Amino acid sequence: MNRPRLHTAESLAEVESRPAARSVNSATIASELRREIIDGVYAYRDRLPPERLLAERFGAARGTVRAALARLEETKLLTREPGRGAFVRYRGHAEQDDIAELTSPLELIDVRIAVEPDMARLAVRHANAQDLRRMSDALERVEDCNGDAEVFSRGDEAFHMCLAECTRNPLMLWLYRHINEVRHRTQWNIRKDKILTPQAIEGYNRQHRDLYNAIVARDAEAATQILNDHLKQARADLLGVHP
């Protein structure tokens, strides 16, 4: 039946909900909304109430609210999209929110570049025979993906997870589990098909094999270098797909 047609006669009842004294100017509205955004009243990617509702709430005209929103948009706290609404762009406290939702693919790869090369060094130092066997298994599985982006992606995750296990460092393993979780759950995986062409997969697999050999040979410098190249390449592929 009839849906939200809110702003009808209730405006009369809302006389008290706001001070609504003459402090109705765009600046105060902007600062109040800014505070609410930073305080997390509206979380990252949440939609703010429609301009018409905000106008009612602040006892101001819609144009005034629009001026306030424009300020917040300039400050990068908001983005506004015609027909859709105003959305929070400010990424507040990662502690309470879903970290996978807050992390962009570029930020993810930057973290991986920071962690994994030296993780390979630790892996060389601490991997035992059983670790190497598991790594070899993972390597074969990811090489058997036949160019399927989805299968490769899962196998790749498992392979890198193996590397983390090779370090035999519980904290490192804990950290990488979470990195991998973010990687697995990041919504931008949509681009995978564009990035993971059969040729790209072949290249990645070659690097995987090289990395495995370096670890078996206990060549820490080579392993670090290979993984660094591997991730830098992934970063370049990520950037190259859009602009």
Partner DNA sequence: AATCAATGGACCATTTATGGACCATATGAC
Partner DNA sequence: GTCATATGGTCCATAAATGGTCCATTGATT
What residues line the site for DNA (CB under 7 A)? 1-6, 23-27, 48, 50-53, 59-64, 66-67, 69, 80-86
Site residues for its own copies, window 191-230 (CB under 8 A)? none
Please name the residues in contact with 52: beta carbons below 8 A apart, sequence gap of 6 or more.
Answer: 7, 62
In the chain, where does DSSP find H-type helix?
26-38, 51-58, 62-74, 99-102, 105-126, 129-143, 149-166, 170-185, 192-195, 198-216, 220-240
Q: How many other C-beta atoms can be found within 10 angstroms of the C-beta atom of residue 16?
A: 7
Please name the residues in contact with 177: beta carbons below 8 A apart, sequence gap of 6 or more.
Answer: 161, 164
User: Quick one: what does residue 239 bind among DNA, its own copies, none, with the CB cut-off 5 to 8 Å set by partner type?
Assistant: none
Considering the complex, state which of residue 63 and residue 240 has its C-beta at the smaller distance from DNA.
63
Does position 239 interact with its own copies (CB under 8 A)? The reply is: no
Q: What are phi and psi of 81, to 5 degrees?
A: -130, 125
User: Quick one: what does residue 66 bind among DNA, its own copies, none, with the CB cut-off 5 to 8 Å set by partner type?
Assistant: DNA
What's the closest the beta carbon of residue 139 comes to DNA, in angstroms?
Answer: 34
What's the closest the beta carbon of residue 35 comes to its own copies, in angstroms?
Answer: 8
Does position 151 interact with its own copies (CB under 8 A)? The reply is: no
Integer-rounded Cα Rg, in Å, for the chain is 25
What's the closest the beta carbon of residue 208 comes to its own copies, in angstroms?
Answer: 20
Does position 1 interact with its own copies (CB under 8 A)? The reply is: yes
- Which one among 78, 103, 214, 223 touches its own copies, defined by CB under 8 A? 103
